């Protein structure tokens, strides 16, 4: 409510600045309900490319129209919590409208398991509301620090794609606000084509005001998991096919540096929600402390040597004989959320993730080639993940998930060698009829994008004339 002359106290207490700054930084990360994005760190999670952004927070969805009038010359893009790795969440030279303050829950049906909330609610906040009442989001990606609007706009997927499809498959309805003031309720039955354009629509079709989601019942917050080591990519396929029958969630970490007989070796984790009568009914505690990586270093801690060491260590990590354990859902789904700002280990150069999917028919060979190329360059990094996508078809015109095998791998500080490697990988993916994930991309070519997403031309009809993104301008070769 209050305000005192902005420059005054600033000047008087300039000497306090450094101390205060450190305090704030530490504090800001501690609570999930703390809206750090309000202080306007409009950046992508990968920190690459690095572009100065003008951010304007939206406290209410309808304020969008006010902001559009205030900046009549600029293109706008909704910005959630900035967890996209690449440039889909950036809008250099334009305006980012921050949605994190649009975080109200509007309806929760405890009996049917549906929830309506504004698009700035974090998935983690939603879970804090629903999990104690016995309901779980049907699809969750590897971080809970994403907004619902962002999850829809990127049509994110999770460890259960083979059963549940992607996030858009769980959206029952949403309301879209267009720059001309039009408000559209979109669902599979109402304004269906808008619904299909907005899911996976990269925030370009308008502002999602709220969404209604389907949830699934759970007996408790626990997951029964099994961890299995596999020594080659072929074993991954064998174990995955087997796992997908009996397990709702499966995901494998792979050693991106292993070659030859070890190619694609890794650790597969599979799990199911624990039932009412589990042998370990005792409360499984979640970690009380949430460490945070405090600062962005001028250099990266991630290089071929540290990665090799980490990968060896992780591959050989001790696993219980049968591999079974019962854990809280948080470490199961969000191991990386355990360390806030983990992206800072990559230093100021940032990092980029490459996630591709190749159809099952060519999957094995294409994936072998992709992994061998990455391993040969030793550029790949700590987080490399393999997963089989199922046959549930995605709703969105630009949705990434499709049947096949997907690989996601980090590349620190995307220099020329990395970009060259990724272009080569694009070639393999295109030939195999696969796709690369826009949510994590900052470098794919317009031609590649059109190959990956054949419905792009149809999608273009639904773009709001006042909306754009750095990604979109890049993909369009500079055309709006």
Partner 1 sequence: MRKILVMGATSAIAQATNRLFAQDGDYLFLVARNREKLESISADLALRGAGRVITVVQDANATEGHAALVKQAAQALGGLDTLLVAHGLLPDQKQCQASWTATRQALETNALSILSLLTHGANHFEAQGHGTIAVISSVAGDRGRQSNYVYGAAKAMVSTFLQGLRNRLHASGVTVVTIKPGFVDTPMTASYSKGLLWAQPEQVARDIHEAVVSKREICYTPWFWRWIMWVIQHLPEWLFKRLSL
Applying CB under 8 A, the residues found at the interface with partner 1 are 1-10, 12-13, 16-17, 20-21, 24, 33-35, 38-40, 56-57, 59-60, 62-63, 101, 104-108, 118, 129
Between 13 and 299, CB nearer to partner 1: 13
Task: Determine the angle formed by the axes of helices 233-246 and 360-377, rounding to 10 degrees.
Answer: 130
CB of 328 to partner 1, least distance (A): 22
Between 67 and 259, CB nearer to partner 1: 67
How far apart, in whole angstroms, are the C-alpha atoms of residue 348 and residue 46?
10
**H or E element: which one contains 457?**
helix 456-460
With contact defined as beta carbons under 8 Å apart, do 374 and 409 qualify? yes
How far apart, in whole angstroms, are the C-alpha atoms of residue 241 and residue 268?
12
Between 30 and 238, CB nearer to partner 1: 30
Nearest-5° angle of CA 155, CA 443, CA 420?
130
CB of 177 to partner 1, least distance (A): 13
CB of 129 to partner 1, least distance (A): 7
How far apart, in whole angstroms, are the C-alpha atoms of residue 244 and residue 266?
17
CB of 337 to partner 1, least distance (A): 20
Residue 296 CB neighbours (<10 A): 15
Between 211 and 371, CB nearer to partner 1: 211
With contact defined as beta carbons under 8 Å apart, do 349 and 48 qualify? yes
Name residue, tokens 């808008």: 194
Between 148 and 366, CB nearer to partner 1: 148
C-alpha 459: how far from chain center: 22
Report residue 180 as tokens.
Answer: 């001309």
Between 87 and 118, CB nearer to partner 1: 118
Q: Give the sheet arrangement for strand 324-328, strand by strand.
A: 324-328, 222-230, 266-273, 249-254, 384-389, 404-412, 351-358, 435-436
Between 102 and 448, CB nearer to partner 1: 102
CB of 9 to partner 1, least distance (A): 6
For residue 340, give the 3-state DSSP assignment.
strand
For residue 409, give the 3-state DSSP assignment.
strand
Report residue 110 as tokens.
Answer: 């405890």
CB of 290 to partner 1, least distance (A): 17
CB of 73 to partner 1, least distance (A): 18
Strand partners, 137: 215
CB of 60 to partner 1, least distance (A): 6
**H or E element: which one contains 273?**
strand 266-273
Between 33 and 393, CB nearer to partner 1: 33
């Amino acid at each position: 409510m209050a305000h005192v002359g902005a420059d005054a106290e600033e000047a008087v207490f300039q000497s306090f600045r450094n101390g205060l700054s450190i305090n704030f930084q530490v504090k800001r990360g501690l609570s999930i309900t703390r809206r750090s994005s309000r202080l306007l760190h409009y950046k992508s999670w990968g920190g690459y490319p690095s572009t100065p952004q003008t951010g304007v927070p939206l406290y209410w969805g309808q304020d969008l129209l006010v902001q559009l009038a205030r900046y009549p010359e600029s293109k706008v893009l909704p910005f959630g919590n900035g967890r996209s790795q690449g440039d889909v969440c950036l809008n250099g030279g334009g305006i980012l409208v921050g949605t994190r303050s649009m975080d109200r829950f509007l309806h929760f049906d405890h009996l049917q398991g549906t929830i309506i909330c504004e698009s700035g609610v974090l998935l983690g906040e939603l879970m804090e509301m629903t999990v104690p009442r016995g309901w779980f989001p049907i699809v969750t990606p590897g971080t809970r620090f994403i907004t619902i609007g962002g999850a829809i706009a990127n049509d994110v997927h999770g460890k259960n794609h083979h059963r549940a499809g992607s996030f858009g498959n769980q959206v029952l309805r949403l309301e879209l606000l267009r720059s001309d003031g039009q408000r559209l309720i979109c669902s599979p039955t109402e304004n269906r084509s808008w619904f299909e354009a907005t899911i996976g629509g990269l925030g370009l079709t308008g502002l999602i005001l709220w969404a209604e989601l389907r949830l699934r019942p759970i007996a408790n917050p626990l997951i029964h998991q099994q961890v299995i080591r596999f020594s080659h990519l072929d074993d991954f396929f064998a174990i995955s096919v087997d796992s997908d029958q009996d397990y709702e969630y499966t995901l494998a970490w792979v050693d991106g540096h292993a070659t030859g007989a070890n190619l694609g070796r890794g650790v597969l984790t599979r799990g199911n929600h624990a039932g009412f009568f589990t042998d370990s009914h005792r409360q499984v505690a979640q970690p009380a402390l949430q460490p945070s990586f405090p600062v962005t270093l001028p250099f990266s801690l991630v290089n071929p040597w540290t990665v090799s060491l980490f990968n060896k260590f992780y591959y050989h990590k001790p696993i219980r004989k049968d591999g079974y354990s019962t854990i809280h859902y948080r470490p199961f789904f969000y191991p990386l959320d355990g360390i806030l700002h983990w992206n800072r280990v990559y230093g100021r150069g940032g990092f980029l993730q490459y996630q591709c999917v190749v159809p099952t028919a060519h999957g094995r060979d294409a994936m072998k080639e992709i992994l061998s190329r990455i391993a040969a360059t030793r550029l790949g990094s700590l987080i490399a993940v393999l997963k089989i996508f199922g046959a549930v078809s995605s709703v969105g015109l630009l949705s990434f998930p499709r049947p096949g095998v997907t690989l996601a791998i980090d590349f620190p500080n995307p220099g020329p060698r990395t970009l060259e490697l990724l272009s080569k990988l694009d070639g393999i993916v295109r030939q195999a009829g696969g796709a690369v994930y826009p949510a994590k991309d900052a470098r794919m070519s317009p031609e590649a994008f059109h190959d990956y997403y054949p419905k792009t031309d149809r999608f273009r009809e639904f773009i709001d004339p006042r909306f754009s993104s750095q990604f979109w301008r890049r993909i369009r070769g500079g055309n709006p």
